[in-house]
Amino acid sequence: MSRYRLQPSPAQEVMLLEHCGHARFVWNLAVEQHACWRPGRMSAPGFAEQCRQLTEARAENAWLRAGSIIVQQQALKDFAQAMANFFGRTHRRPTWRKRGQGEGFRIVAVKAGDVRRLSRHVGEVKVPKVGWVRFRWSRAVLEGVKSYRVTRDASGRWHVAFAAIPEPIPAPTAGEVVGVDRGVAVSAALSTGELLHTPALRDPEKARLLRLLRKLARAERGSKRRGRVKVAIAKLKARERDRRKDWVEKTSTDLARRFGVIAVEDLKIANMTRSAKGSIDAPGRNVRQKAGLNRGILAGGWGRLVARLEQKAPGRVVKINPAYTSQRCSACGIVDRQARESQAAYRCRSCGYAANADVNAARNIAHAAGHAVSAREGPPLREPTNREPQRDLLLVG
């Protein structure tokens, strides 16, 4: 993840906040336009139409005109992507943005030389209307940065994330298929039997978080103390998020390097059963646990993992209909609803095969991918196909 700590001067911070404000304003306008839309009316304006409207609004409002058009247009672009995600059933409908919450903006059309290194640990990036803003050069910045996103987290830290599409990782010569199941007790199970855990807060950190939450409940609204507690909570949560992001990068690289074909559940299908009550095709699986998962960050982390896999192993990720993957025995193929001994254990009553339930599901996903691959002509895809990674999905902070 190429995210760096941005260190604006107080004067620059004011201007950065202005950019955030413009981005939020434009985003909220877009949300409002789409919220007013009702079936039967003309369709809500798309990106191109909204850009035209933005030009009009800038002509009439000096304060908007004073801001960067890139910031404002990219907020519309973000919104268009968010709507696409919503219609694609991978994300919820975009909602209002509030001040101080997930603030940020994106700059595109970055030129060579707009990012430079000043000394061993200091770099700077050119931000329109703000000028050169310093950041901590904590690791190498990739060549050819095309865009970046500036964000401010709830604890007031600024970051800059440079968008660079990760280099595809060559497939290993033995193109083995691996199935990856989004687990319940563990974050992901591989058909090899490996269980992967996303990092969470450590026990002392969890205890501290609980203490802080209790403090928050007692603190008076609007008090200074309450503000301090909120910042401390945000810091802990940011730490957890950073660890998860890091895990996604490491895990996706590792999988892309070790396996020829990586099979995962098709999220679009899985999301249709999001309520986990299930449908005829995909009877409810792990109902209670899925409900918990949906609430958690895990779901988001899973989406990010799959997105990263598709970039690092282009053409080598196969998406599988998740129906029955948890009930089918991966050894004999029988579908048995009662085979789950417990949430974590699968025992086939027909052939006696016993395994971790998530590993059994991962093996089914791998089998399904094996069929899918051999059904196509020729050997498993070795070389990256010409499917371009979706650039917009990369532009995340």
- What 3-state class would DSSP assign to 151? strand
Q: Which of 11, 332, 335, 345 binds Zn ion (CB under 5 A)?
A: 332
Q: Which of 185, 331, 393, 394 binds Zn ion (CB under 5 A)?
A: 331
Phi/psi at 29 (nearest 5 deg)? -60, -45
Closer CB to Zn ion, 138 or 350, in the complex: 350
In angstroms, give the least distance from the CB of 270 to Zn ion.
24
| Distance (Å, whole) CA 137 – CA 141 | 8
In angstroms, give the least distance from the CB of 353 to Zn ion.
5
Structure tokens belonging to residue 148 = 């970046």
Structure tokens belonging to residue 82 = 């968010």
Q: Which of 54, 130, 262, 348 binds Zn ion (CB under 5 A)?
A: 348
Q: At what angle do helices 47-60 and 10-36 cross, to 10 degrees?
A: 120
| Distance (Å, whole) CA 13 – CA 150 | 11
Catalytic residue among 78, 153, 181, 240: 181
The site for Zn ion, by CB under 5 A, has a size of 7
- 355 part of the interface to Zn ion, by CB under 5 A: no
Catalytic residue among 78, 124, 240, 265: 265
**Could you please report the per-residue DSSP string of 1-59?**
--EEEE---HHHHHHHHHHHHHHHHHHHHHHHHHHH--TTSPPPP-HHHHHHHHHHHHH
Alpha-carbon dihedral sign for residues 251, 368, 390, 278: negative
In angstroms, give the least distance from the CB of 349 to Zn ion.
8
- 16 part of the interface to Zn ion, by CB under 5 A: no
- 351 part of the interface to Zn ion, by CB under 5 A: yes
Q: Which of 70, 177, 255, 329 binds Zn ion (CB under 5 A)?
A: 329
Asked if residues 315 and 388 have their Cβ atoms less than 8 Å apart, the reply is no
- Angle CA 143–148–152, to nearest 5: 135
Closer CB to Zn ion, 54 or 323, in the complex: 323
Residues 196-215, interacting with Zn ion (CB under 5 A): none
Q: Residue 311: is it exposed, middle or buried by C-beta count within 10 angstroms (0-12/13-18/19+)?
A: buried
Closer CB to Zn ion, 114 or 336, in the complex: 336
In angstroms, give the least distance from the CB of 361 to Zn ion.
14
- 350 part of the interface to Zn ion, by CB under 5 A: yes
Q: Is 392 a catalytic residue?
A: no
Q: Is 254 a catalytic residue?
A: no
Closer CB to Zn ion, 223 or 350, in the complex: 350
Q: Is 358 a catalytic residue?
A: yes
Q: Please, where are the H alpha helices in 173-223?
A: 203-218
Closer CB to Zn ion, 59 or 351, in the complex: 351
From 295, 301, 236, 302, select the one nearest 266 (Cα to Cα): 302
Residues 6+ apart with CB under 8 A from 343: 184, 185, 286, 289, 357
- 341 part of the interface to Zn ion, by CB under 5 A: no
Q: Which stretch binds Zn ion (CB under 5 A): 21-29, 179-187, 245-253, 332-340?
A: 332-340
Q: Which stretch binds Zn ion (CB under 5 A): 59-67, 159-167, 197-205, 352-360?
A: 352-360
**Site residues (CB under 5 A) for Zn ion?**
329, 331-332, 348, 350-351, 353
Catalytic site positions: 181, 265, 358
